[in-house]
Amino acid sequence: MCGIIGYIGKQKAAPVILEGLKRLEYRGYDSAGVATLYDGHFDTAKKAGRVDGLIKATKAQKLPGTTGIGHTRWATHGGVTDTNAHPHISNDGKIALIHNGVIENYVGIKKFLTGKGYTFTSETDTEVLCNLIDYHYQKEPVTKEGSRFLEAVRKTLRHVEGTYGIAVMCADCPAEIVAARKGSPLILGVGDGEYMLASDVAAIISRTQNVVYLKDGEMVHMTAKNFTITTLEAEDVSPVIDTVSWNIEDAELNGYAHFMEKEIFEQPAALENTMRGRFSEDGSTAQFGGLNISAADFRQIDRFHFLACGSAWHACLVAEHLIERFARVPVEVDYASEFRYRNTPLDRSTLFFTVSQSGETIDTLAAMREAKRKGYKVLAINNVVGSTIAREADGGVYQHVGPEIGVASTKAFTSQLLLGAMLALYIGRMRDMSFSDGVDYVNALKSAPQLVRQVLEQAPKIREIAKRYAHYHDFLFLGRLSLFPVALEGALKLKEISYIHAEGYPAAEMKHGPIALISEQCPSLFLVPAGEMFNKVVSSMQEIKARKGKIIAVLSTGCELPAGLADDVIHIPECHEAVLPIIATVPVQLLSYYITVELGRDVDKPRNLAKSVTVE
């Protein structure tokens, strides 16, 4: 969940590392630190709080050295303090370590090391790991062949239980970094006369677009001149150098106040990129190049099972509705974090989908591995090329929306909605959907970007509405059928960036308990569609209004509410059922964003949250 960056080259390491840490801020963190190696000792700076505080500290210390590591920490073991921040240094000053993940058996290791005379100043599992590497380094014989440092790290990791992405320096090795991963992403950047290490491409994209995606169980040994990759069993690995398809400009604000704002307004282009090249020549169905499953095999599937977390889980709920509606195939949607611990009865003719923007979500990755272990084919929907889920899945679909920097998902979420709708079309046309219905469906999907642009034109109006609701402490989001997951997403957006308590419900469920919350101090946002659900939702709205609850209505154009029923109305274009969840999502994104701006919260770096959740 936190950020890692390392550097070996000709330039001073500290400025490169600090720039990388700034670019990793969006991942979520509570403290930051840097260590450089110079003249046989480590120069370190660590600060709780933002990277800007660390930058001030390093200017005062003027860290030398052309080899260094840096880290942004999201606390797991131990509170948010300077002492608990990374890097950690071993007792004798020989080893410096940064670490993402959780060492599950650190208590036993700490007890062992304490018996050997080691002492600890922090509350972290990382300091324990650092001293265990030092212990093996001191025991490792000095030989002419191989690296004593590398082998000490390798031996240590054989005793570790849990997840990790680590970068390690040794005071006796002036231009070396050893890194390894298990369950936490690491990327090697291959530059011009320099090598970098990062947990996220964003940290190094300003210096190189040539990267090697490390796999679980792999270690990289970097020097000033080259690098080698091996496994924990010391087997050589031939590296594959990939080229990142986006550049540094894609990760800049480009005139917007926040990345979330930028990414909301990028959604029309993101949807176009998601669709590009994915419709048949006759315009009646979708087509996907990377599913690695034949149409004949697809027709034999009796059930689809989706695994996801957070916003991606909400997108899967919409996919469930659309696939059952248009393809008439049963769909199950599971929280990935729960699936791996349940003994779920599964039909043999089930196809799994995992959905994760980053492709590194640890719960989703573990759930995917569990499904594969039981013999099921698993396809993936994700946005990051080269991610662990993308590599380990049997096939899948890339979203192609570019980097999403804001912690609160926006363009990645609506892209996932679109791909769910396209899957419903793809499967439906294999079953019993007619050619003409398929053409109508495709035309509706193609209209989505322009419909989103129409909603975005109402941003100034939505901002004014947001100002009127920014100081309430509770909020309800209500919808039905495919709009119920959008209500869940709207509530999540408001919670995670504004810190206002919000809940999403099916509109008809209000009278079964939650209506007790209704008062003048608890506004409700209703997603009001045209068609058969219109009168049903209006009835639920009247129940709220009868109890003096304030109402914001997101209303399809052409529908008319009874006079005085809604306090504020946001109109969205009337559209096809498959596109409706995408269009209805945009107003709730804007409302949450503008409420948060009005409250003066940190939109792109909300407290306690991380962009990519890589610890269980």
For residue range 344-400, what is the model confidence (pLDDT) as tens digits?
888 889 999 999 998 888 899 999 999 999 999 999 999 988 888 988 999 999 999
- Is 611 an active-site residue? yes
3-state secondary structure 401-452: CCCCCCCCCCHHHHHHHHHHHHHHHHHHHHCCCCHHHHHHHHHHHHHHHHHH
The answer to whether the CB of 612 falls within 8 A of the CB of 272 is no
- The domain tally of the chain equals 3
* Integer Cα distance of 279 and 592 in angstroms: 33
> Is residue 126 situated within a structural domain?
yes
Q: Are residues 16 and 52 in the same domain?
A: yes
3-state secondary structure of 372: helix
Q: How far is CA 315 from the centre of its chain?
A: 14
Q: Same domain, yes or no, for 502 and 492?
A: yes
Q: What is the CATH number of the domain that holds 484?
A: 3.40.50.10490
Q: Residue type for 433, please?
A: M
* Co-location of 448 and 484 in the same domain: no
The C-alpha atoms of residue 588 and residue 526 are separated, in whole angstroms, by 10
> In terms of DSSP bridges, do strands 331-335 and 303-308 run parallel, antiparallel, or are they unpaired?
parallel
In degrees, to the nearest 5, what angle opens at C-alpha 598 toward C-alphas 597 and 601? 50
Residues 6 or more apart in contact with residue 225 via CB below 8 angstroms: none
Task: Note whether 509 and 486 are same-domain residues.
Answer: yes
Domain hosting residue 526, numbered range: 458-604
Q: Which residues pair with 127 in a beta bridge?
A: none
Asked if residue 513 belongs to a domain, the reply is yes
| Residues 90, 131 contacting (CB under 8 angstroms) | yes
Query: Catalytic: 111?
Result: no
Q: What are phi and psi of 511, to 5 degrees?
A: -75, -5
Same domain, yes or no, for 272 and 237?
A: no
Residue type at position 539: S
CA dihedral 380, 383, 389, 390 (to 10 degrees): 70
Q: Is the separation of the CB atoms in 206 and 192 below 8 Å?
A: no
For 412-562, where are the E strands, in sequence order? 474-479, 501-506, 524-528, 551-556
Q: Strands of 236-237's sheet, edge to edge?
A: 88-89, 95-103, 162-170, 176-182, 218-223, 227-231, 236-237
The answer to whether residues 215 and 260 belong to one domain is: no
Instruction: Provide Rg for the chain, Cα atoms.
Output: 26
Q: Which of 250, 275, 309 is the last residue of a domain?
A: 250
Q: Is residue 611 part of a domain?
A: no
CB 177 within 8 A of CB 43: no
Number of H helices, E strands in the chain: 18, 25
Inside any domain, residue 339: yes
Q: CB-based contacts of 473: which residues, under 8 Å, 6+ apart?
A: 500, 501, 521
Rounded CA separation 223/368 (Å): 35
Domain annotation covers residue 612: no
- Does 609 reside within a domain? no
Which amino acid is residue 190, in one-letter code? Answer: V
Preceding omega of 460 cis (within 30 degrees of 0): no
Give the model's pLDDT for residue 402: 87
Specify the pLDDT at position 518. Answer: 79
Answer yes or no: do 163 and 302 share one domain.
no
608: left (phi over 0), alpha (psi -120 to 50) or beta: left
Q: Do 416 and 294 fall into the same domain?
A: yes
pLDDT of 248 reads 66
The confidence score (pLDDT) of residue 359 equals 87
pLDDT at 578: 95
Whether 278 and 206 map to the same domain: the answer is no
Biggest alpha carbon–alpha carbon distance for the chain: 86
**Structure tokens belonging to residue 467:** 């100002």
Own/partner contacts of 185-189, CB < 8 Å, gap of 24 or more, are: 185/213, 185/214, 185/358, 185/360, 185/387, 185/388, 185/612, 185/614, 186/4, 186/214, 186/220, 187/211, 187/212, 187/213, 187/214, 187/386, 188/212, 188/214, 188/220, 188/222, 188/227, 188/229, 188/239
How many other C-beta atoms are found inside a 10 Å radius of the C-beta of residue 15? 14
Residue of 2, 173, 316, 575 marked active site? 2
Antiparallel, parallel or unpaired: β 227-231 and 331-335: unpaired
Any residues with CB less than 8 A from the CB of 246 and at least 6 apart, and which? 205, 402, 403
Residues 6+ apart with CB under 8 A from 247: 205, 209
The active-site residue out of 182, 493, 550, 611 is 611
Which amino acid type is present at position 588? V
The two tokens of residue 23 are 């670019």
Say if CB 150 and CB 232 are below 8 A apart.
no
Q: What is the reported pLDDT for 325?
A: 94
Q: Identify the domain boundary among 426, 457, 488.
A: 457
Give the chain's length: 616
Residue 495 is which amino acid?
A: K
Is 449 found in the same domain as 470?
no
Residue 142 has a pLDDT of: 67
Predicted pLDDT of residue 543:
83
Helix (H) or strand (E) run with residue 112 in it: helix 106-115
Dist CA 214 CA 409 (whole Å): 25
- The rounded average pLDDT for each run of 10 residues, N- to C-terminus, in the chain (616 residues) is 87 90 77 90 87 79 88 78 88 93 90 94 91 91 71 93 92 93 89 90 86 92 92 91 75 85 95 94 92 88 94 96 95 92 86 92 90 93 88 92 88 96 95 94 96 96 95 91 94 94 85 77 88 80 83 87 88 93 96 95 77 51
Provide CB contacts within 8 A for 230, sequence distance 6+: 154, 218, 219, 221, 236, 237
Both tokens assigned to 449: 């970007």
CATH of the domain at 210: 3.60.20.10
Domain-located, residue 68? yes
Domain shared by 372 and 284, yes or no? yes
Looking at 439, 457, 475, which one is the last position of a domain?
Answer: 457
Same domain, 90 and 13: yes
